Chains A and B, each alone.
Chain A
Amino acid sequence: MASPCEILVETRDHVLAKKLIHIAANEAWRIERKFSRYRDDNILYQIHHACGGPVEIDDELALLLNFSEKCYQLTDGMFDITSGVLRRIWKFDCSDNIPTQKQIDALRLLIGWGKVSWQQPFITLPEGMELDLGGIGKEYAVDRAAVLISQVSDLPVLINFGGDLYATKPPNSRESWQVGIESIGGLNKTGIIQVKSGGIATSGDARRYLERDGIRYSHVLNPKTGWPVQGAPKSVTVASPRCTDAGFLSTTAMLNGVAAKSFLEAQGVPYWIQN
């Protein structure tokens, strides 16, 4: 998952705790192997190298595509799993290396879920287009791990895959799990969220940006324009019954830029914003 993952299990039963941790870790690795864009032995690689031909996919990916399609519709195209290609030109390495409009326009031809033919179980991607499940993969892995763990134990477990997390239930020893939100911008004012159960996800990364002529470009890209979203908060954290929901809501809030707060208000979910 390219980020630290941790599983907290509250029990005295070491054997069971180990087993639960293995379940979660194996599920994370499985999902990473299956949906990573950086491998050449998985279904995503086959889809990307089908030269515009149809590829038959399994139920799990089909569910993820259906879900992504729903997200695309709910956000009027702002949440788009085909937008990953923009990363080819946008390298958020804190430099002033801003791509040209010409480069952006060229890539915009390869973006848009509407250009994908998706007729379960066959997906056909126009040549050059890519699917990027990075926006939901980690949250999905958290929820999947939670499902698998709850099948074998009803212990209080907190699953944390790189800041996206899920608590199965409150710990026995205290009222809720204490989750710290990393402060952004050097103020070192760490927030603590009390989580009883459910999912928490955070979007935003203060270490990934570009800056030119005094303008700071966040790493949140608008798939329609190909440009970073203006005025997005530094980070948005959302709590929701599932981690996948929380992740989608926090990402969508970022895509709303300056309207992130009003978007979250309208959703009626608990959220924490750092500007």
Chain B
Amino acid sequence: MKKHKKITMALAVATSSLMSVTPDVHAEESADIGDWDIDAAVLYYTESDRVSAFEPVISAKKQIDTDESISLKLTLDSLTGPSANGAVPSINPQTFTRPSGNNGYTTSANETPLDDTFKDTRIAFNASWEQALTRMTRLTLGGNISNEYDYLSLGLSAVVAHDINQRNTTFTTGVSFANDTIEPEGGLPTAFGVMQPSGTLQPRQTDSDDKTIFDVLFGVTQIIDKDSLFQVNYSYSQADGYLTDPFKVISVVDGVIGLPIIEDATTNLSQVVYENRPDSRAKHSVFTQYKRNIIGDVLDVSYRYMFDDWDINSHTLDFRYRLKTSETTFWQPHLRYYQQSEADFFRPYFISGQHPGEGTDNVYATSDYRLGEMTTYTVGLEYGEKYHDHGWSISGEFYLQSISEPTKKVGQLVQQELYPDVDAFMLRFSYDF
């Protein structure tokens, strides 16, 4: 019988070259490149009795080439509802003048003074362009503009990511710069200027001011094994310029009875002074994250430590677990714990006679709860369905902010809760086209 040659080897070579080239006709079909991947989301946020926000977001990403993409994002924010003005509650009703100086609002007895003027619409646009510089290095350039009635923010950023170690290790370096301009209605108040009755001359310095924020970031992402990765980032942020909140005031109270001093008896206007913050802030933060794939589920835990030269330090612990319930559906519980210490110039109120004089801008004070000692808890749940080319998800989060009361309070303030807990609910619906 004829002896047969073994031809399978030569055949394998021939078929691999046969299958190696994509026929021209597919150039247009494999054009997932060039399609816009569009994602739309709506966020509804509401704090009980306070601010609520409605925020539609539309984002789009286009893969220009296998190593080049652009992303665009448009956000519309509509905020309404009252927010705390920083003054203390009283056993008597109190009146305050609106930022515009044109009219006032009254807070009932034993209620936290809330400024209900707060109503704003913000429109923000972000664009970024990612491009491979070399086979192992990617550059992302970004720009953003955000505008609201009295605020304009412009920013630029650049991030370089470099892979080594067979792409198991990624080094990231980034810088960003932003310039914000604020021009509130009625102008910027003078530091520690005393609020005057509506319709009269208010203590104002200028119409507008700005601040610059410069950030740098260094990060390392290490793939540990095929199912897990670890990331460490350090970032430094330097803000300079006008960092004060022009809408926040500090009450001046009687040192014995704790009642706000009456500034204007005819209108019940309490004596409050405008706050003043340092004109620079340097923040350092370290962020670590661990992600692990557990048979289709994804565990994502992270911790952030931040400290700054305002003497605030904070810890954030975040936990998410994405539970895959089928090929296409998932549930994701989310827990977050945040704790911060207060700024060294945090003053819930001033005792009459002890507050800095108008225009003393080298002394700093704020009663803004966001710079006080606080702990927040977030509990959330997300449900989503993901298909090959589309998907949607809905998530709900409950948020509780617990702000520490001052340890020593005078007079009637002992019975008052200066910083009641704030709870909020957030609902987000997202659709990926």
Contact = CB atoms under 8 A, between A and B. Distances in A.
A180 B213 CA distance: 69
A143 interface: yes
A263 B20 CA distance: 28
B327 to A, nearest CB: 5
Contacts of A30: 25
Interface stretch (A118-126, A157-165, A221-229, A243-251): A243-251
A262 interface: yes
A151 interface: yes
B362 interface: no
Interface in B208-253: none
Interface stretch (A61-69, A95-103, A208-216): A61-69
Contacts of B30: 151
Contacts of A11: 327
Nearest to A26: B29
Given A19-B389, A240-B8, A263-B4, A58 B24 contact: yes
Contacts of B12: 241-242, 245
Interface in B1-48: 1-8, 10-12, 14-15, 17-21, 23-26, 30
Interface string A138-150: 0010011001100
Contact of B11 (A19, A60, A148, A249): A249
B4 A259 contact: yes
Interface in A237-274: 240-242, 244-245, 248-249, 256, 259, 262-263, 265-269
Nearest to A248: B11
A152 interface: yes
A252 B18 CA distance: 18
B6 A266 contact: yes
B4 to A, nearest CB: 4
Contacts of B389: 15-16, 19
Contacts of A153: 388
Nearest to B385: A13
Nearest to A62: B21
B11 A144 contact: no
Given A144-B19, A153-B388, A60 B8 contact: no
Task: Report whether over half of chain A's contact residues are helix, strand or loop; otherwise say mixed.
Answer: helix
Task: Report whether over half of chain B's contact residues are helix, strand or loop; otherwise say mixed.
Answer: loop
B328 interface: yes
Contacts of B6: 266-268
Given A13-B388, A15-B388, A67 B18 contact: yes
B8 A268 contact: yes
B326 interface: yes
A74 interface: yes
Q: How large is the interface on B (under 10, 10 to 19, 20 to 34, 35 or more residues)?
A: 20 to 34
B18 A244 contact: yes
A164 B21 CA distance: 22
Contact of B1 (A144, A151, A240, A259): A259
A123 to B, nearest CB: 17
Nearest to A242: B15
Given A13-B388, A241-B12, A58 B327 contact: no
Nearest to A263: B4
A12 interface: yes
B2 to A, nearest CB: 6
Contacts of B10: 70, 74
B8 A249 contact: yes
A71 interface: yes
Residue among A59, A143, A259, A266 with most chain B CB within 10 A: A266
A74 B15 contact: no
A266 B4 contact: yes
Given A30-B25, A241-B12, A12 B327 contact: yes
A248 B12 CA distance: 11
A71 B5 CA distance: 13
Interface string A12-46: 11011001000000000010000000000000000
A71 B1 CA distance: 22
B429 to A, nearest CB: 20
A267 B1 contact: no
A16 B388 contact: yes
A256 B21 CA distance: 31
B21 A245 contact: no
Given A12-B328, A144-B19, 8 more contacts: A12-B326, A12-B327, A67-B14, A67-B18, A70-B14, A241-B12, A248-B11, A266-B3
* Shortest 5 CB-CB contacts between residues of A and residues of B: A266-B4, A60-B23, A16-B388, A70-B14, A67-B18
28 contacts: A12-B326, A13-B327, A15-B388, A15-B389, A16-B387, A16-B389, A19-B389, A30-B25, A58-B24, A59-B23, A60-B21, A60-B25, A66-B17, A66-B18, A67-B15, A74-B11, A75-B7, A144-B23, A147-B19, A151-B30, A245-B11, A249-B11, A256-B4, A259-B1, A263-B4, A266-B3, A266-B4, A266-B5
Interface of B: 1-8, 10-12, 14-15, 17-21, 23-26, 30, 326-328, 387-390
